[in-house]
Amino acid sequence: MKTSKITLLCLFLLFFSTSTCSAKSIVGFLIPSSGLGDQSFNDMTYAGLVQARTQHGFTLIREQCADFTEKSRLQSMQRLLSRGANIIVVNGWEYRHLVEKYAVLNPERIFLINDFPMDGFDNVISTVFAQHEASFLAG
Q: Whole-angstrom Cα distance, residue 48 to residue 6?
A: 7
Asked if the model's pLDDT at residue 7 lies above 60, the reply is no
Give the torsion sign (CA, 105, 110, 116, 122).
positive
> Per-residue pLDDT tens for 72-111?
888 999 999 999 999 999 988 888 899 999 999 999 999 9
More confidently predicted of 64 and 76: 76
Q: Whole-angstrom Cα distance, residue 77 to residue 85?
A: 10
pLDDT band at 67 (very low <50, low <70, confident <90, very high): confident
pLDDT band at 138 (very low <50, low <70, confident <90, very high): low
The 10 Å Cβ neighbour count of residue 57 is: 13
pLDDT band at 8 (very low <50, low <70, confident <90, very high): low
Task: Please tell me the least confidently modeled range out of 19-28, 66-75, 90-99, 124-133.
Answer: 19-28
Asked if the model's pLDDT at residue 123 lies above 90, the reply is yes
